[in-house]
Amino acid sequence: MKNLFLHMGLWLLATASTVHARTSLLTSNDLAAEALQKNPEVRFYEAEIAAARGGRQSAAQRVNPELSMELGGMSLASQKEGLVWRAQIAQVFDFPGRMALRKAIAERDITLAELGLQQFKSQLVNQVRALSGDVVLLQRKEQAARSVRERLEALIEVLVQRDAGSVSALLERRILEAALLTSDRTLTDASKQAQESSTALNVLCGRPPEAALALVDPSTLFPQVPALEKLKEQAAGSNFDLQQKRLQVAKQGLKVDLTKSERWGNISFGPYMAGQHAGGTQVEGGFAFSIPLPLWNKNKGNVATEQARTLQAEALLLATLRDLERDLAIARSAYLAELAALDHWRPESEKQFQEAAIEADRHFRLGAVPAATYVEMQRGYLDAMDALIEGRRNAWKHRMEVERLTGAPLGQKMEPLRVAKEG
């Protein structure tokens, strides 16, 4: 019975360890959700929306009524002196249609704030995905450089132990030592790049900068990009900058209408009462109404200012559209160029180079391969891996740029990274 409980305990411990190992691995979607939850700038944009809604509430409120009172004295000839008083309550009303314009402007402010939040979240997710793919590819580059260095270091130790003192053996050893120094530099550069991207990703997700990242196959599918005209159509409806500029133009048009209506000023209306007690008591009451007459100040200066700002908003919209088309064309052509370069790689090429580097090590130990061929094979493996990984990094970067500009992903299905493991 004790053995049974012991075996069950060991099985549960192993199961818990396996589950923990699985859950500790992260995907780019996990990191994106974490970044959205922890990034402090999200709260800034949410507060901006709350402020815009407060402005909408203020735009719908009427001005408080005003109470005015006057108290004085009056003296009439041959009459008794007495008090004079006047009290009035006046409510200020907007000129017809003005409150509706202010509400419409406030609604545009809310929409702009909501668009700002959506844009930030979209760009944050895009940046997390871009860095996730970069981290995995750079870690693979670091892994290849470390494997070559470890092979060289192990081989030099073997040569030192069986050093026969011959000139050829000494020269081979020096060749390998020189290659080891070169591989050290390659490994250091690869490690620095991987750590740099990992630190940037950690900070973006609200993690400690030095936290270890175990990423599982972030999306690195390279789908075919649509035609440029189709990308333009998609970006015209989903690009956040373009949507914001359109809203700015619409909001500015409303401001022009509001400024034109403001030349009539506000309308004041309310009851009043007045009385005097000099030579008898007299009381009067009625209603007072007032409206400014636009005889000299017709608000033409402010109307001209808002119209000029409307022209500026329209010009910015056209400039944004022009820059968007240019950036889309550049990102698309760069993405296609990287895809064309990656198409030259056969699916088995990476594994074949890796196996050739391991095979060269084995045959050099047997004396069937000279040192020069061995070193050249290790260097060729590193160069090939560098070219492949840099090509994929560039293609991934350009894909993320296209998605950022269009505001939508190129492909919904994500293909995992294919990592060739060394035997």
Q: Give the pLDDT mean for 233-256.
A: 90
Q: How many domains in the chain?
A: 1
Instruction: Please report how the helices 371-406 and 167-204 are oriented relative to each other, as an axis angle in degrees rounded to 10.
Output: 10
Question: Is the torsion defined by CA of 349, 355, 359, 360 positive or negative?
Answer: positive
Q: Is the pLDDT of residue 321 over 90?
A: yes
pTM attached to this predicted model: 0.74
In a domain? residue 159? yes
In a domain? residue 378? no
CATH number for position 115: 1.20.1600.10
In a domain? residue 347? no
pLDDT for 291-305, tens place per residue?
A: 877 777 778 888 899
Residue for token pair 């979607």 = 29
pLDDT for 165 equals 61
**Structural domain that includes position 194:** 25-76+100-328
In a domain? residue 209? yes
pLDDT for 161-195, tens place per residue?
A: 666 567 777 777 788 888 888 888 888 988 998 89
In a domain? residue 343? no
Q: What kind and span of H or E run contains 71?
A: strand 66-74
In a domain? residue 369? no
Cα distances (Å, whole numbers) of residue 252 to 264, 322, 413: 20, 21, 41
pLDDT for 67-126, tens place per residue?
A: 888 887 776 666 667 788 888 888 877 777 778 888 888 898 999 999 999 989 988 988
* Confidence band of 332 (pLDDT split at 50, 70, 90): very high
In a domain? residue 415? no
Distance separating alpha carbons of residues 124 and 47, to the nearest angstrom: 18
The whole-chain average pLDDT of the chain stands at: 81
CB distance 157 to 401 below 8 Å: no
Which residues, 6+ apart, have CB-to-CB distance to 189 below 8 Å? none
Percent of the chain surpassing pLDDT 70? 86
Ordered alpha helix ranges (H), 60-166:
98-161
Cβ-in-10-Å burial (0-12, 13-18, 19+) of 200 comes to middle
Beta strands in 277-404 (DSSP E): 282-290
In a domain? residue 416? no
pLDDT for 370-381, tens place per residue?
A: 888 888 888 888
